Amino acid sequence: MTDNPDVIVIGAGPAGYVAAIRCAQLGLKTLCVDKWLNTEGKPSLGGTCLNVGCIPSKALLQSSEMFEQANLNFAEHGIKIKGATIDLEAMMSRKDKVVNELTQGIAGLLKVNKVEFVSGTAKLLTENRVAIVPTVGEKQVLSAENVIIASGSSSIELAAAPLTEGLIVDSTGALSFDEVPERLGVIGAGVIGLELGSVWRRLGSEVVVLEAQDSFLSICDQQVASDAQRTLKKQGMDIRLNSRLRETNIISSDKRQVEVVYEDDKGQHKEVFDKLIVAVGRKPNTDHIAEHAADLVLDERSFIHVDEKCETSLPGVYAIGDVVRGPMLAHKGSEEGMMVAELIAGHHAEMDYDLIPSVIYTHPEIAWVGKTEQQLKASGEKYKSGIFPFLASGRAKAQGDTSGMVKVLASEETDRVLGVHIVGAHASELVAQAVIAMQLSASAEDLMLTVFAHPSLSEALHEAALAVDNRAIHIAAKRGR
């Protein structure tokens, strides 16, 4: 290890490796430490997102969607496939290949940018010193003028549903089933629960999702959430709200199963599942990130306290990604890494936390940026809205996928776009147009005056903006307001 680097980055997930690369690009001698090892015991960069999160889940979502389309949708396009079956082993192998290629790609990027990488663990000590224990080799203590903590997060475990290998699993385990469960239970109707539930439902599982909250996707605009809930229910996903987990019991008969006891307004109920996924959120990995004497300040939920520039209570020590406030999103962590690198190099940098897009990769996808209608109502801000359904989109009709809508919220006084909410095919791609518009302080009229290609799904954003002032062309009735 190089003595006295300019920057030590703890963690090589989407926040850490991006920060390390940008620091090196800015001429800073950078050392990055990460402990993740693959099943072969080799370093595997990319953190949770790449190894057991965003990327493998999207690979399985893509594969499972193609399987469902082959069975349910191809015939209407004149493509007839009889008896499409699943080779789950091949599907998992493809997923692992995608992950492996991308992790190797990150290792190559660090090397090309001259970031020194150390496989091992790291702990912050006093005076910006870091104790590093390599996977191979002896412990070493290094000093750096700047330290960036990007140690990520882990799945929250429930005492009422202790993880049991192959039976009660977290999101990591749910990405590696060796067979399709007949009945699958999911605790938590959040992003992870809905995405993983979607994968296995498409592959043939009967999926029951138990959610403690009494509203579906309370973080979303509720009109969009309701539309998504109806579609998921129509697809066969059984989502039970206001259902609080009480206990789980392992049943051993012909095959091991898990009995789930939950409670709702009508009393206690029992369900038996072949597999149970616990997806109730994530917690920051801060338990062992710093010695007590370092006086690193954490909040009541164990997130590292930082200012608007992601600097901690300790001068020269920054924290980014899942270990700090804000949504636990890979792109949010990456942008924080870029910002902090620029600041360390003495440049001006800032980040707009109000314009971080969120996406749920179900089908239809759900994506949004900015404020929801319920937030605007609660704040008393006067607004107007426009909605355009994909049912009226020529491109959506041609694709045979017309579920969902685009919703635009704009200020009644200034016409500035305040929020855009999308449920529909490729919402994850469409929302980027809204982010760009809002980053440039666009008004609904600006979107109205923008020329969108025809036929395209993006025209729905144009029409929703027109609908803000009841000017939409391709819907028969006035909408919005």
Q: How many CA atoms lie within 13 A of 416 on its CB side?
A: 12
Angle at which helices 88-112 and 14-25 cross, to 10°: 30
Interatomic CA distance for residues 188 and 239, integer angstroms: 10
Q: 244 in helix, strand or coil?
A: strand
CA dist list (Å): 79 to 2, 82, 177, 202 = 60, 10, 30, 19
Helix (H) or strand (E) segment spanning residue 129? strand 129-134
200 and 185 Cβ atoms separated by less than 8 Å: no
> Quick one: tokens of 138?
């002896």
8 Å CB contact between 200 and 65: no
Q: Which tokens hold the place of 229?
A: 């809930």
Q: Is the separation of the CB atoms in 312 and 304 below 8 Å?
A: yes
Amino acid type, 60: L
**Nearest by Cα to 290 from 129, 118, 156, 143:** 129
* 190 DSSP assignment: S
The 10 Å Cβ neighbour count of residue 382 is 10
Contacts of 187 (CB under 8 A, 6+ apart): 158, 161, 193, 210, 245, 260, 276, 277, 278, 279, 280
State how far the alpha carbon of 92 is from the alpha carbons of 62, 86, 216, 309, 442, in Å.
12, 11, 30, 40, 43
Return the DSSP state at 150: -
Query: Which phi and psi (to 5°) does residue 46 adopt?
Result: 110, -10
Q: Is 204 helix (H, G, I), strand (E, B) or coil?
A: coil
Q: Which amino acid is at 31?
A: L
Pairing status of strand 282-284 against strand 153-155: antiparallel
What residues are annotated to the active site? 454
